[in-house]
Amino acid sequence: MSRFDNKVIIITGASGGIGSATAKKLYSEGASLVLVDLKQEGLDKLIAENQFSRERILSLTGDVSKKEDVRAYVQATVDRFGKIDGFFNNAGVEGPSKPFEEYTKEDFDFVFGINVYGVLYGMQEVYKVMKKQGYGSVVNTSSLAGLMGSPGTTVYNTSKHAVLGLTRCAALEAAEIGVRFNSVHPGVIATGMMTRIEENVAPGNAEQMHEAYTASVPMKRFGQPEEVANVAAFLLSDESSYVTGSIYTVDGGMINQ
Protein backbone atom coordinates (compact mmCIF):
# COMPACT_ATOMS: atom_id res chain seq x y z
CA MET A 1 0.00 0.00 0.00
CA SER A 2 1.33 3.44 -0.95
CA ARG A 3 1.51 6.37 1.45
CA PHE A 4 -1.26 8.30 -0.25
CA ASP A 5 -3.74 5.60 -1.22
CA ASN A 6 -7.25 6.96 -0.58
CA LYS A 7 -5.84 10.39 0.32
CA VAL A 8 -7.16 13.63 -1.17
CA ILE A 9 -4.65 16.46 -1.54
CA ILE A 10 -5.17 20.01 -2.85
CA ILE A 11 -2.22 21.71 -4.55
CA THR A 12 -2.27 25.40 -5.45
CA GLY A 13 0.20 26.76 -7.97
CA ALA A 14 -0.03 23.25 -9.35
CA SER A 15 1.36 23.90 -12.82
CA GLY A 16 4.52 25.62 -11.59
CA GLY A 17 7.85 23.89 -11.07
CA ILE A 18 7.43 22.84 -7.43
CA GLY A 19 3.67 22.36 -7.72
CA SER A 20 3.90 20.05 -10.72
CA ALA A 21 6.77 18.04 -9.20
CA THR A 22 4.73 17.55 -6.04
CA ALA A 23 1.66 16.55 -8.05
CA LYS A 24 3.68 13.88 -9.87
CA LYS A 25 5.12 12.61 -6.58
CA LEU A 26 1.78 12.38 -4.78
CA TYR A 27 -0.05 10.89 -7.75
CA SER A 28 2.61 8.20 -8.12
CA GLU A 29 1.97 7.24 -4.51
CA GLY A 30 -1.78 6.88 -4.89
CA ALA A 31 -3.24 10.28 -4.06
CA SER A 32 -6.31 11.83 -5.61
CA LEU A 33 -5.43 15.42 -6.44
CA VAL A 34 -7.18 18.75 -6.76
CA LEU A 35 -4.95 20.89 -8.95
CA VAL A 36 -5.49 24.65 -8.72
CA ASP A 37 -3.85 27.36 -10.79
CA LEU A 38 -4.68 30.66 -12.44
CA LYS A 39 -4.82 29.29 -16.00
CA GLN A 40 -6.27 26.04 -17.31
CA GLU A 41 -3.64 25.59 -20.02
CA GLY A 42 -0.89 24.77 -17.55
CA LEU A 43 -3.07 22.30 -15.71
CA ASP A 44 -4.12 20.57 -18.93
CA LYS A 45 -0.48 20.24 -19.93
CA LEU A 46 0.46 18.75 -16.55
CA ILE A 47 -2.36 16.21 -16.73
CA ALA A 48 -1.69 15.23 -20.34
CA GLU A 49 2.09 14.92 -20.04
CA ASN A 50 1.83 12.67 -17.01
CA GLN A 51 -1.25 10.73 -18.15
CA PHE A 52 -3.08 11.45 -14.92
CA SER A 53 -6.37 9.57 -14.69
CA ARG A 54 -9.35 11.93 -14.53
CA GLU A 55 -10.88 9.61 -11.92
CA ARG A 56 -8.24 10.82 -9.45
CA ILE A 57 -7.85 14.38 -10.70
CA LEU A 58 -9.91 17.55 -10.39
CA SER A 59 -8.40 20.60 -12.08
CA LEU A 60 -9.69 24.05 -11.22
CA THR A 61 -8.78 27.60 -12.11
CA GLY A 62 -8.84 30.26 -9.46
CA ASP A 63 -7.16 33.39 -8.13
CA VAL A 64 -5.96 32.60 -4.61
CA SER A 65 -5.99 36.29 -3.71
CA LYS A 66 -9.81 36.22 -4.00
CA LYS A 67 -11.53 34.56 -1.08
CA GLU A 68 -14.51 33.55 -3.19
CA ASP A 69 -12.19 31.61 -5.52
CA VAL A 70 -10.59 29.88 -2.55
CA ARG A 71 -13.97 28.93 -1.12
CA ALA A 72 -14.92 27.58 -4.54
CA TYR A 73 -11.94 25.24 -4.88
CA VAL A 74 -12.37 23.97 -1.32
CA GLN A 75 -16.09 23.34 -1.82
CA ALA A 76 -15.46 21.65 -5.17
CA THR A 77 -13.00 19.32 -3.46
CA VAL A 78 -15.50 18.32 -0.81
CA ASP A 79 -18.26 17.92 -3.38
CA ARG A 80 -16.09 15.63 -5.52
CA PHE A 81 -14.12 13.64 -2.95
CA GLY A 82 -15.92 14.21 0.38
CA LYS A 83 -12.83 15.17 2.39
CA ILE A 84 -9.44 16.90 2.40
CA ASP A 85 -6.52 14.94 3.82
CA GLY A 86 -3.78 17.37 2.85
CA PHE A 87 -3.24 20.83 1.42
CA PHE A 88 -0.07 22.00 -0.32
CA ASN A 89 -0.58 25.76 -0.06
CA ASN A 90 1.98 26.54 -2.71
CA ALA A 91 0.88 29.35 -5.05
CA GLY A 92 3.15 32.36 -5.03
CA VAL A 93 4.76 35.17 -7.03
CA GLU A 94 8.16 36.82 -6.79
CA GLY A 95 7.09 40.42 -7.44
CA PRO A 96 9.36 43.22 -8.67
CA SER A 97 13.02 43.56 -7.69
CA LYS A 98 14.21 47.05 -6.73
CA PRO A 99 15.81 48.97 -3.83
CA PHE A 100 13.60 48.89 -0.75
CA GLU A 101 12.99 52.65 -0.80
CA GLU A 102 11.40 52.38 -4.25
CA TYR A 103 8.67 49.87 -3.36
CA THR A 104 5.12 51.16 -3.55
CA LYS A 105 1.91 50.19 -1.83
CA GLU A 106 0.78 48.71 -5.15
CA ASP A 107 3.84 46.43 -5.21
CA PHE A 108 3.06 45.19 -1.71
CA ASP A 109 -0.66 44.83 -2.41
CA PHE A 110 0.01 42.62 -5.44
CA VAL A 111 2.56 40.31 -3.81
CA PHE A 112 0.79 40.14 -0.45
CA GLY A 113 -2.51 39.42 -2.18
CA ILE A 114 -1.12 36.12 -3.43
CA ASN A 115 1.73 35.23 -1.07
CA VAL A 116 0.06 36.21 2.20
CA TYR A 117 -3.69 36.64 1.80
CA GLY A 118 -3.84 33.75 -0.64
CA VAL A 119 -2.05 31.54 1.86
CA LEU A 120 -4.24 32.76 4.72
CA TYR A 121 -7.50 32.25 2.81
CA GLY A 122 -6.45 28.75 1.84
CA MET A 123 -5.55 27.90 5.42
CA GLN A 124 -8.84 29.26 6.74
CA GLU A 125 -11.13 27.53 4.25
CA VAL A 126 -9.33 24.18 4.32
CA TYR A 127 -9.16 24.28 8.12
CA LYS A 128 -12.95 24.50 8.32
CA VAL A 129 -13.12 21.10 6.64
CA MET A 130 -10.19 19.55 8.51
CA LYS A 131 -11.51 20.78 11.86
CA LYS A 132 -14.74 18.85 11.32
CA GLN A 133 -12.75 15.80 10.24
CA GLY A 134 -10.44 16.03 13.24
CA TYR A 135 -7.32 15.57 11.12
CA GLY A 136 -5.36 16.94 8.19
CA SER A 137 -1.99 18.27 7.13
CA VAL A 138 -1.29 21.70 5.65
CA VAL A 139 2.09 22.50 4.11
CA ASN A 140 2.71 26.17 3.31
CA THR A 141 5.39 27.09 0.79
CA SER A 142 7.51 29.87 2.21
CA SER A 143 11.10 30.30 1.04
CA LEU A 144 14.62 30.63 2.34
CA ALA A 145 13.73 34.30 1.81
CA GLY A 146 11.26 33.85 4.67
CA LEU A 147 14.16 33.24 7.05
CA MET A 148 16.73 35.77 5.89
CA GLY A 149 17.17 39.07 4.07
CA SER A 150 18.49 39.73 0.59
CA PRO A 151 19.00 42.96 -1.34
CA GLY A 152 16.51 43.94 -4.01
CA THR A 153 13.69 41.58 -3.01
CA THR A 154 12.16 43.27 0.02
CA VAL A 155 8.50 42.65 -0.86
CA TYR A 156 9.07 38.97 -1.65
CA ASN A 157 11.13 38.34 1.48
CA THR A 158 8.64 40.17 3.67
CA SER A 159 5.73 38.16 2.28
CA LYS A 160 7.54 34.89 2.88
CA HIS A 161 8.37 35.88 6.46
CA ALA A 162 4.63 36.40 6.92
CA VAL A 163 3.92 32.85 5.72
CA LEU A 164 6.13 31.53 8.52
CA GLY A 165 4.18 33.56 11.08
CA LEU A 166 0.88 32.25 9.77
CA THR A 167 2.16 28.68 9.93
CA ARG A 168 3.44 28.88 13.47
CA CYS A 169 0.32 30.50 14.89
CA ALA A 170 -2.08 28.13 13.13
CA ALA A 171 -0.04 25.12 14.24
CA LEU A 172 -0.48 26.06 17.89
CA GLU A 173 -4.19 26.73 17.55
CA ALA A 174 -4.91 23.50 15.67
CA ALA A 175 -2.58 21.08 17.47
CA GLU A 176 -5.11 19.60 19.90
CA ILE A 177 -7.65 19.14 17.11
CA GLY A 178 -5.28 16.98 15.08
CA VAL A 179 -4.63 19.36 12.18
CA ARG A 180 -0.97 20.05 11.42
CA PHE A 181 0.62 23.12 9.81
CA ASN A 182 4.23 23.13 8.61
CA SER A 183 6.26 25.21 6.19
CA VAL A 184 8.78 24.29 3.52
CA HIS A 185 11.49 26.82 2.64
CA PRO A 186 13.15 26.23 -0.74
CA GLY A 187 16.44 27.93 -1.51
CA VAL A 188 17.63 28.36 -5.08
CA ILE A 189 15.59 25.84 -7.06
CA ALA A 190 15.66 25.30 -10.82
CA THR A 191 12.23 26.73 -11.61
CA GLY A 192 10.76 29.43 -13.82
CA MET A 193 10.36 31.69 -10.79
CA MET A 194 14.08 31.49 -10.01
CA THR A 195 14.91 32.34 -13.61
CA ARG A 196 12.67 35.41 -13.39
CA ILE A 197 14.28 36.47 -10.11
CA GLU A 198 17.73 36.28 -11.70
CA GLU A 199 16.55 38.41 -14.62
CA ASN A 200 14.79 40.92 -12.36
CA VAL A 201 17.65 41.32 -9.89
CA ALA A 202 20.31 41.66 -12.59
CA PRO A 203 18.73 42.75 -15.91
CA GLY A 204 21.00 41.74 -18.76
CA ASN A 205 23.26 39.77 -16.42
CA ALA A 206 21.06 36.82 -15.50
CA GLU A 207 23.75 34.27 -16.34
CA GLN A 208 26.23 35.91 -13.98
CA MET A 209 23.53 36.09 -11.33
CA HIS A 210 22.89 32.37 -11.78
CA GLU A 211 26.59 31.66 -11.29
CA ALA A 212 26.65 33.83 -8.18
CA TYR A 213 23.65 32.06 -6.68
CA THR A 214 25.24 28.68 -7.44
CA ALA A 215 28.51 29.71 -5.79
CA SER A 216 26.59 30.83 -2.68
CA VAL A 217 25.18 27.34 -2.08
CA PRO A 218 27.42 25.06 0.03
CA MET A 219 26.44 22.12 -2.22
CA LYS A 220 27.40 24.25 -5.27
CA ARG A 221 24.29 23.51 -7.30
CA PHE A 222 20.66 24.52 -7.69
CA GLY A 223 18.07 22.26 -6.12
CA GLN A 224 15.53 20.43 -8.25
CA PRO A 225 11.76 20.81 -7.82
CA GLU A 226 11.56 17.09 -7.04
CA GLU A 227 13.77 17.63 -4.00
CA VAL A 228 11.24 20.07 -2.58
CA ALA A 229 8.41 17.70 -3.52
CA ASN A 230 10.01 14.93 -1.48
CA VAL A 231 9.94 17.07 1.66
CA ALA A 232 6.40 18.31 1.02
CA ALA A 233 5.23 14.72 0.53
CA PHE A 234 6.73 13.69 3.87
CA LEU A 235 4.97 16.55 5.66
CA LEU A 236 1.65 15.74 3.97
CA SER A 237 1.94 12.05 4.85
CA ASP A 238 1.12 10.21 8.06
CA GLU A 239 4.85 9.62 8.50
CA SER A 240 5.06 13.18 9.90
CA SER A 241 2.15 12.69 12.32
CA TYR A 242 4.06 14.25 15.26
CA VAL A 243 5.40 17.20 13.26
CA THR A 244 3.66 20.57 13.41
CA GLY A 245 4.78 24.19 13.40
CA SER A 246 8.10 23.11 11.92
CA ILE A 247 10.40 24.76 9.39
CA TYR A 248 11.92 22.57 6.67
CA THR A 249 14.63 24.20 4.57
CA VAL A 250 15.50 22.70 1.19
CA ASP A 251 18.48 24.87 0.37
CA GLY A 252 21.70 22.91 -0.02
CA GLY A 253 22.91 24.27 3.32
CA MET A 254 22.57 28.01 2.61
CA ILE A 255 20.79 28.83 5.88
CA ASN A 256 23.82 27.68 7.86
CA GLN A 257 26.15 30.35 6.48
Secondary structure of residue 9 in the 3-state scheme = strand
Known catalytic residue: 213?
A: no
Distance, CA of 51 to CA of 36 (rounded, Å): 17
Distance, CA of 227 to CA of 242 (rounded, Å): 22
State the catalytic residue, choosing from 73, 117, 127, 156: 156
Distance, CA of 82 to CA of 88 (rounded, Å): 18
What is the spatial order of strands in the sheet that 8-12 belongs to?
57-61, 32-37, 8-12, 86-89, 136-141, 179-186, 247-250
What type of residue sits at position 45?
Answer: K
Active site amino acids: 156
